[in-house]
Amino acid sequence: MMIYIISNNYILNQVKRSFEGSGLNSDVINFFYYFIIFCILFSPILFLIHLYVKRRESRYDSNEFGSISDKETIKNIFDFALIQRSRFDISIRRSDSMIYATLVDYDDEFIYLEMPSYLKISKVWFKKNLSCFFKIGSGKLNAIFYNFKSIVVDYYVDKGSYIIKLKLPEKLYLGQKRRFLRIEIPSKYIKSIKLWSASLDKYAGFSKDISEWGVPLGLYDERKRSIFLKDISGGGIKLGIKKKIVSDVVKFKRDNEYIFLYLHLNPTYTNSNMFFYFICKLKNVYQVDDPEFYFFGFQFVAEGKVKANSTQIEWKEIPLEQGCESLGNWLFEKYLEIYRQKGTV
């Protein structure tokens, strides 16, 4: 029906008559005629498919773990890199060789990198696509690695050094998705920690009723401090447990391959109610010479959501490569807050 309507369109018929007047073969004229009809019919469909694909990509990017797209956060990170005079490792296109540069300035639209003295910049650098890698912080626990892609828009010479001007990236990516940001957080950021033994039933799985967990193995709140949080990431936690609770480390490890963990943290600017239930797997026992605590490393394997007005909890597996995203975001905000106050980032 649609083809019939279009084929009787006045404009198309006029186009067809123009082709006929050119002396072309009738088969060729018919081919072009129906080709135009085809394009008119399917162009809107192709356009809608294109919009759908772009929308899906945009939705994926906005929820992508390990990336930052908020412009103010990106500028804050570059601010820290500027204070530290962080080294930027630059790769041109897919080259394996690296050029080392230093961030000297940034604004709302651009960043400015000082190139090494041996390198002479010319117009051939214009519009080159660069991959850049850098880090902020220091030490194994506090350093965060980032990478981004940008394009050279200009360059100039300042005090004998070449400065290249890059577009401010729309997105920063964490350097390695497996490298979780692991930090030591002050006790004032922790409201409560509770620890229970978690036996795994091969038929029923882990308990889904909090009321069945019994008395916690260890507790941290305003009154009791039988647990010490050493450090934490989106993928796991290192806890110190008082020796009076763990009389035998070997037995504790055997009896507590899995634990239930309740973690209640102080709110952030973007999250007002930060508490978590985790199933954790005991991964490491740390030989630390401490008079009060034994230290254990736990990996988060599942996160629980408590049903409204009940003690029932639903467990959802945490991907090994991803960790707990909401906790990771909280840690990132606290990292910026803590080290902005210290002035060390």
Asked whether residue 329 carries a pLDDT value surpassing 90, the answer given is no
313-317 and 227-232 beta bridge pairing: unpaired
* Structural contact between residues 295 and 288, judged by C-beta atoms closer than 8 angstroms: yes
Asked whether residue 332 carries a pLDDT value surpassing 50, the answer given is yes
pLDDT at site 28: 55
More confident residue, 129 or 16: 129
Chain-centroid distance of CA 259 in Å reads 27
pLDDT at site 137: 72
The arithmetic mean of pLDDT across residues 80-84, rounded, is 86
Model-level pTM? 0.55
Asked whether residue 302 carries a pLDDT value surpassing 50, the answer given is yes
d(CA 294, CA 276): 23
- Is the four-CA dihedral 168, 145, 324, 57 of positive or negative sign? positive
d(CA 134, CA 86): 7
What b/e string do you get for 297-320 counting C-beta neighbours within 10 Å, with b at 16 or more? bbbbbbbbeeeeeeeebebeebee
For 216-254, what is each residue's pLDDT tens digit?
A: 999 998 888 899 999 998 889 999 999 988 988 999 999
pLDDT band at 105 (very low <50, low <70, confident <90, very high): very high
DSSP string, 124-148: GGTT-EEEEEEEES-HHHH-EEEEE
pLDDT band at 176 (very low <50, low <70, confident <90, very high): very low
Asked whether residue 290 carries a pLDDT value surpassing 70, the answer given is yes
pLDDT band at 195 (very low <50, low <70, confident <90, very high): very high
